[in-house]
């Protein structure tokens, strides 16, 4: 509990104690008024102050004004206990709201703790702590056990494990070694590592995340904007309605020759004012969205604003990029089919013949071989444009490449029906088999598609620049409804435009991507979702939602969180308006007294706020 909350709690306890004591005190007249004014001012002086300042600044019609007029009026009519009780319970409701907001902020505050305080630079054999902003691109920084990784980079030296929970919501540590990419905001758990920085601090992952979180509250949902506009017109209306209720019936009675009963109608008007206070709506609706955003951030899902949480709940079409989104974006040897030699020999020939190439395919072959290559055994290396490579390896003529190369050599070979790049090998003009190198499908990709379909998504679609053969095989494995392949970045935008035109106006389309070429598509879709761990800055900047652990299965979870949040929002709107409407009618008829008004205002607000905090609970989704 904060100092401000404790201060309010102490005031509530003191005021409540005094009111209980006064309820049994045998006092009357002006003494009773003075004694009741003590707890009233203790608990309500700040509300009165805000109401007066609002009047001075021309912002009259708000909940502070309603509370001030209603309670001052009650005190003037001699309803001392009711006037003080209204102010007391209103403050109790505000305390509940403050606590709920604090609880919602907890997850986002934990996220803000990822900001590093310093970076270690080695100077003359000693570590010197400097501001992360002062570290230049390409510098070597030292991260010791227990410290936060201050900047994005590549491990230059050492091995360790990282706690990525603040970024991804996952508790399982990640093992790292020399050559691995790491992002800022993680905590180094074990060994000391040296990192070569690949981004300056203002461009680093941690800075991007903090910027997203700090600006998320600026983008309000349609529900929030509706409530804001509703309160702007509703509050003046009920004030004038209360004034009419206090004046018109007594005047009508006097014209008709009967008594005005001014006290009775003014009391009804004051009760009407207390009942009409829109606190439950004004407070609980933004709080529900704030809770949803906080709950999502705890699971490694960053939502840039409540408007995107609302749109996500309406998404019926989800379009995916392939590489880096549904697949890992890393080439690996997935199949070795030797002919006449062993698999190890085939892989050895492939690694040696490709040893001088820096192409990702070549790197994957060398990684799969996993042994040191003796370059003295490789001579006469020749790149055959569009076909492959040839070299003399340990005295043998080796050719490695595609089907065209084998045909050119007069060697019979057939491409297998598989997703990936096929490298055929011939040794001394004899066909020795092929090696398949593929972009590996993410373990959670199939689960992601199933989760979306169970969440009510009508169609899952993949857009990719890869060949039709590769795209169709990946789509079939994952159970996608539709696939469009061999697309250029501009083609992807055109395809999104086409899909947007085909869908119903009320249905939303989400696009999921990670590359810099996905940024235009992310911006064009109704809602853009980016892979945040290793996704490009442009994609993260253009997206509305960022998945910090690059797990596509989190999309279905984000949808569940958004739909739960919207359910809570609608529950609060219907509940608050229904209770207030009934109590307003009862108040105007004189059936409801000030105590009913207290429930209609503070009670409804407390119930709505408690309901709103359920948006934080995402563990069982």
Give me the active site residues, please.
321
417 Cβ partners below 8 Å, 6+ apart?
A: 469, 473
Closest residue by Cα to residue 230 from 276, 178, 176, 198: 276
Please, are residues 157 and 178 in contact by the beta-carbon 8 Å criterion? yes
Exposed (0-12), middle (13-18) or buried (19+): which is 583, by Cβ within 10 Å?
buried
Give the ranges where 221-319 is alpha helix by DSSP (H). Answer: 222-255, 262-276, 279-298, 306-312
- Could you give the CA distance from residue 406 to residue 134 in angstroms, rounded to a whole number? 55
**φ/ψ of residue 38, rounded to 5:** -65, -55
Closest residue by Cα to residue 583 from 374, 162, 277: 277
Other beta carbons within 10 Å of 455: 19
Please, are residues 63 and 278 in contact by the beta-carbon 8 Å criterion? yes
Give me the residues paired with residue 462 across strands.
Answer: 320, 483
Integer CA distances (angstroms), 403 to 384, 410, 420, 432, in order: 13, 11, 14, 13
CA atoms within 13 A on the CB side of 72: 12
Integer CA distances (angstroms), 313 to 325, 454, 460, 527, 556, in order: 21, 13, 16, 11, 10
Strands (E), 326-415: 327-338, 378-384, 388-393, 396-401
DSSP of 572-599:
HHHHHHHHHHHHHHHHHTT-S-HHHHHI
CA angle 531, 617, 228 (to 5 degrees): 85
- Could you give the CA distance from residue 263 to residue 257 in angstroms, rounded to a whole number? 17
Strands (E), 42-188: 119-123, 126-130, 140-143, 153-157, 160-163, 174-176, 181-182, 187-188
Residue 158 Rama label (left phi>0; alpha psi -120 to 50; beta): left
Please, are residues 269 and 578 in contact by the beta-carbon 8 Å criterion? no
Please, are residues 303 and 545 in contact by the beta-carbon 8 Å criterion? yes
- Could you give the CA distance from residue 446 to residue 426 in angstroms, rounded to a whole number? 37
- Could you give the CA distance from residue 133 to residue 203 in angstroms, rounded to a whole number? 10
Exposed (0-12), middle (13-18) or buried (19+): which is 502, by Cβ within 10 Å?
exposed
């Amino acid at each position: 509990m904060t100092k401000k909350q404790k201060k309010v709690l102490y005031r509530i306890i003191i005021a409540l104690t005094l009111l209980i004591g006064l309820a049994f005190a045998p006092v009357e007249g002006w003494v009773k008024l003075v004694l009741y004014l003590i707890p009233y001012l203790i608990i309500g002086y700040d509300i009165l102050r805000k109401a007066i300042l609002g009047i001075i600044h021309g912002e009259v019609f708000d909940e502070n004004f309603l509370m001030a007029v209603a309670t001052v009026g009650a005190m003037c009519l001699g309803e001392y206990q009711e006037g003080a009780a209204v102010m007391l319970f209103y403050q109790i409701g505000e305390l509940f709201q403050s606590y709920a907001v604090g609880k919602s902020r907890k997850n986002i505050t934990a996220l803000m703790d990822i900001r590093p305080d310093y970076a270690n630079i080695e100077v003359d054999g000693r570590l010197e702590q400097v501001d992360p902003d002062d570290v230049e691109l390409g510098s070597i920084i030292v991260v010791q056990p227990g410290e936060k990784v201050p900047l994005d980079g590549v491990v230059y030296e050492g091995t360790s494990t990282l706690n990525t929970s603040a970024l991804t919501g996952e508790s399982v540590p990640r093992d790292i070694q020399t050559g691995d990419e790491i992002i800022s905001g993680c905590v180094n758990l074990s060994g000391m590592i040296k990192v070569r920085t690949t981004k300056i601090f203002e461009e680093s992952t941690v800075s991007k995340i903090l910027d997203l979180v700090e600006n998320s509250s600026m983008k309000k949902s349609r529900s929030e904007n509706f409530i804001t506009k509703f309160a702007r017109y509703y509050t003046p209306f009920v004030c004038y309605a209360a004034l009419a209720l206090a004046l018109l019936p007594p005047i009508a009675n006097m014209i008709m020759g009967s008594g005005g009963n001014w006290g009775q109608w003014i009391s009804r008007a004051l009760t009407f004012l207390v009942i009409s206070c829109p606190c439950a709506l004004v407070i609980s609706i933004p709080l529900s969205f704030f809770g949803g955003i906080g709950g999502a951030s705890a699971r490694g899902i960053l939502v840039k604003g409540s408007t995107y949480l609302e749109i996500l709940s309406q998404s019926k079409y989800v379009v995916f990029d392939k590489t880096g989104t549904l697949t890992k974006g890393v080439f690996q040897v997935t199949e070795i089919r030797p002919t006449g030699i062993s698999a190890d020999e085939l892989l050895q020939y492939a690694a040696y013949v490709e040893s001088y190439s820096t192409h990702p395919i070549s790197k994957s072959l060398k990684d799969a071989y996993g042994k040191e290559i003796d370059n003295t055994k490789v001579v006469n290396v020749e790149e055959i444009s569009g076909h492959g490579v040839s070299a003399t390896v340990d005295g043998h003529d080796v050719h490695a490449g595609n089907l065209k190369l084998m045909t050119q050599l007069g060697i019979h070979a057939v491409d297998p029906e598989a997703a990936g790049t096929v490298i055929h090998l011939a040794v001394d003009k004899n066909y020795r088999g092929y090696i398949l190198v593929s972009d590996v499908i993410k373990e959670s990709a199939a689960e992601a598609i199933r989760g979306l379909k169970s969440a009510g998504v009508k169609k899952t679609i993949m857009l990719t620049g890869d060949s039709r053969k590769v795209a169709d095989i990946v789509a079939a494995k994952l159970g996608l409804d539709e696939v469009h392949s061999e697309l250029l970045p501009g083609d992807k935008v055109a395809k999104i435009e086409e899909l947007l035109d085909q869908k119903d106006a009320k249905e939303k389309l989400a696009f999921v991507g990670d590359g810099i070429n996905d940024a235009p598509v992310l911006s064009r879709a109704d809602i853009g979702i980016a892979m945040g761990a290793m996704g490009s800055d442009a994609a993260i900047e253009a997206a509305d939602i960022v998945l910090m652990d690059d797990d596509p299965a989190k999309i279905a979870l984000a949808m569940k969180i958004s739909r739960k949040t919207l359910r809570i929002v609608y529950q609060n709107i219907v509940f608050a308006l229904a209770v207030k409407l009934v109590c307003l009618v009862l108040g105007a008829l004189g059936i409801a007294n000030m105590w009913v008004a207290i429930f209609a205002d503070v009670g409804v607000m407390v119930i709505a706020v408690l309901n709103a905090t359920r948006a934080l609970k995402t563990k069982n989704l």
